[in-house]
Amino acid sequence: MRAEGVSPWGTLVFEVMSQQTPIPRVQPIWERWMRDWPGPADLAAAPTADVLIAWDRLGYPSRALRLQQCAAAVAARPGGRVPADMDELMALPGIGPYTASAVSCFAYHRRVAVLDTNVRRVLARTLDGREFAPSSSPGRRERSRAESLLPDDGEACADWNVALMELGALVCDQRAPRCEACPLASECAWLAAGRPAAEVRPRGQAWAGTDRQARGRVMASLRAAHVEGRPLTRADALSAATLPGADPAQASRAVDGLVADGLAVADPVTRDLGLPG
DNA sequence: AAAACGGGGAT
DNA sequence: ATCCCAGTTTT
């Protein structure tokens, strides 16, 4: 979390959860998570099934798996402490450039730019006069420019990064920017240019009918079966994975994929499915 | 460079 | 009923 009194590990957990999920949905899960598993060693020692159930529907259950792997990696470090350096952070499972920079800055007040999609959009609009950042991930140019804007003091950097992230999330909205409420309106190149629309709109992912939806249905059944203390038969798993009007091969692909990803385990004899121990 | 990977909320 | 959102890993 980006607040006082939160441990570096708590910050890391919060930022991992926030990777694809809005803060309001993350907050209650994070509170309970940190109560149950305050430190990396606690999470590393927990049954993976409990971790996946606590993760609930935050999205992409493989991220919960990696977070537990990350906990083990951190617990194995000297003092069991979260590293402060970008390179050491990025070497941890599930930690990429975004989370590494967020932890480095928010937990350790390192002078690092935190470039999430909201910040990239704010900079693209105010400085480049473009509606969106170039669609790919931030490159050298973007990062060095963002760094050149940072305050000198590390603590001020944390405030700066949080401010830009919030501005992008709440005011400089992707679809409906509230320029009338924007503190940067008078200096914004995009607003000055009349808010020109980008040639290519970023295309969202399809959801209905995808393998991801089928996998999500199976995960929901696995969680329910686990809390009821029963296994899930393969037939029931396939049934859960069968979407209306879908390719018949999709269900088995979804179930087998979950097993391959370590999100489900299959009994070698009965083929019953369960969450990993 | 591109695809795979959930699930909810706004419109 | 549609559209939209995000960072990490794998291919």
**Do A56 and A101 belong together in one domain?**
yes
**Do A122 and A97 belong together in one domain?**
no
Convert the pLDDT of each residue in A107-142 to its tens digit.
999 999 999 999 999 999 999 999 999 877 888 899
Q: Which pLDDT belongs to residue A121?
A: 94
**Do A188 and A216 belong together in one domain?**
no
In sequence order, which residues have a C-beta less than 8 Å from that of residue A88 and are 6 or more positions away?
none
Q: Measured in angstroms, what separates residue A136's CA from nucleotide B1's C1'? A: 10
Let me know if A15 is a catalytic residue. yes
DSSP A146-197: HHHHS-SSHHHHHHHHHHHHHIIIIIS-SSS--GGG-TTGGG-HHHHTT-PP
Domain with A38 in it: 8-106
Q: What is the mean pLDDT of residues A17-29?
A: 92
CATH of the domain at A65: 1.10.340.30
Beta bridge partners of A232: A273
Query: What is the distance between the alpha carbons of residues A66 and A212, in angstroms, rounded to a whole number?
Result: 18
Within 7 Å of a protein beta carbon, the nucleotides of strand B are 1-2, 4-9, 11
**Do A98 and A38 belong together in one domain?**
yes
Convert the pLDDT of each residue in A133-154 to its tens digit.
987 788 889 999 999 999 999 9
Return the structure tokens found at A214: 């089928």
Q: Which pLDDT belongs to residue A187?
A: 96
A275 versus A140: which is more confidently predicted?
A: A275
Q: What is the mean pLDDT of residues A8-35?
A: 94
Query: What is the distance between the alpha carbons of residues A122 and A127, in angstroms, rounded to a whole number?
Result: 8
Convert the pLDDT of each residue in A248-273 to its tens digit.
899 999 999 999 999 999 999 999 99
Do the domain assignments include residue A43?
yes
Q: Which of A232, A253, A233 is nearest to A243 (CA)?
A: A253
**Do A127 and A91 belong together in one domain?**
no
**Do A173 and A222 belong together in one domain?**
no
State how many domains chain A has. Answer: 3
Give, in order, the Cα–Cα distances in Å from A204 to each of A135, A201, A207.
Answer: 12, 9, 9
Do the domain assignments include residue A146?
no
A101 CB below 7 A from strand C atoms: no
Q: How many CB atoms lie within 10 A of CB A79?
A: 7
Q: How many CB atoms lie within 10 A of CB A184?
A: 16
